Structure 1
Amino acid sequence: MNIEQFVAQSEGTWRSMRSGHSLAFQQFEEVLSEVQISRIDASDQEINDLIQSSSLSERSEVAAPFRMTWAAESDWEPDDPNEVSSGSCLIVPIPSDDSQGVLLRSVGYAEAAPAESSYSFLSDGTFLLTTQYEQSIAEERIWFVSEHVRCRSSVLRTSAGSGVLQTSFASEVRRLSS
């Protein structure tokens, strides 16, 4: 699998059910989300802005940029468990070859700041994403069980990589138009 195939297979609206375990806070969280993944034009000005704000020195070859938006309900919201958390993120893959590259994100997974990640594909097609933040390292895996079902897992470690802060697993089902 390459990044273009992965993004094409990921496009659409997904209903996600995620379970997370915060080892740091010794709490368990259940999150129901709707996630929308849609391709955007590679010439979009937001892409240029994101690349220029990154550590990349020049405009690299962009492949299959997309926007991910989400709306999530968590049972971990102490004030209002029915509160909906939502957001949007621009994601710009920059492949170095067919199976690996860099992924620029306008908002990171573990920290709400722009992030640069390295990605690769395992031999079974699993997408592996690693992001080094100031205080932590996030490792995410996404794999397709079938055309309309995919799974995600993540592990958030200390920046030294020695301690596990949080783990999660999500199953996601694509919403099909009737």
Structure 2
Amino acid sequence: MTMMDFFRKSEGIWFIERNVHHFDVVANESGESNLIVKVIEKEDPRVKEVCQLQGIDPAKAMGGASFNWLATTDEDEPNPNYAAVVIDIPDEQNNLTGKLIRNKGYVEGIPVTSRYWFGQDGILTINTDYDNNQGQERCWFITDDFRVRVGTTRMMNGINLVTYCSERRCVSPNALEKMWQNHQTRL
């Protein structure tokens, strides 16, 4: 799987249940949210914009994805403070590894470059070095409609937090009806 394959497989709305374990204080948190993923083709002007922001030749980009996090899908518009554009710059010798460049990082709200690779088991690993933190995120699909994401954030003095997310694809009423009809024909 390439990064663009991963983005295409991820496109849609996801319901996320997350647990965050903080190690610097005795605190854990959990919550639910929605993630909206949209594929960005390489011709999209955002590709050039993010590449220029990071000083990278846009011709090396394969495309990308936009991510918007929402507390619930009932919100009118996504909050731009909870959004990011991620562009795929695969390595020339191996399209299973490369760089992800973002207009805004997750841990620190600054433009950031990450390294990614896909293991032979299909697990995507993303390492990000911020100004004051390091993050690693691993993500994999259990099925086409269910995936798992695990992340760590390391401060200069050690691991600060670990995050575990279960993500289920939200199915539209039309897709649900189609699934029901397919099920009925199998019976």
Coarse TM-score class (shorter-chain normalised): 0.7 to 0.9
What are the within-5 Å matches in structure 2 for residues 106-117 of structure 1? 106-117=103-114
2:154 — aligned with what?
157
Over 3 Å off, 4+ runs: none
- Change in Cα spacing, 1:24 to 1:72, as seen in structure 2 (3 Å) is farther
Give the match for residue 89 of structure 1. Answer: 84
Q: Once superposed, what is the RMSD of the aligned Cα atoms?
A: 1.8
**Structure 1 or 2: larger strand share?**
1
Give the structure 1 partner of residue 171 of structure 2. 176
Larger radius of gyration: 2
Structure 1 counterpart of 2:143: 146
Corresponding residue number in structure 1 for 2:71:
72
Instruction: Point out the more displaced range, 167-176 or 25-34.
Output: 25-34
Structure 1 unpaired stretches of 5+: 74-83
- TM-score w.r.t. the length of structure 1 is 0.86
Aligned to 2:75: none
| CA positional deviation for 1:49 | 1.7
Residue pairs, 1:101-140, within 5 angstroms? 101-140=98-137
Q: What is the TM-score with the length of structure 2 in the denominator? A: 0.82
Matched AA of 2:147: R
For 1:60 and 1:128, the matched residues in 2 are separated by: 24
Residue in 2 that maps onto 1:98 = 95
Superposed CA deviations along residues 106-140 of structure 1, whole A, max 9, x for unmatched, are 11121111110000001111110000011110000
Letter matched to residue 97 of structure 2:
Q
Aligned counterpart, 1:5: 5
Equivalent residues, number: 165
Letter in 2 for 1:151: V
- Bigger helix share: 2
Paired residues of 1:60 and 1:94 also in contact (CA < 8 A): no
TM-aligned CA deviation for residue 105 of structure 1: 1.1
Please list every run of 5 or more consecutive structure 2 residues that lacks an aligned counterpart in the other structure: 73-77, 174-187
Aligned-partner Cα distance in 1 for 2:114–2:17: 24
- State the identity %: 26
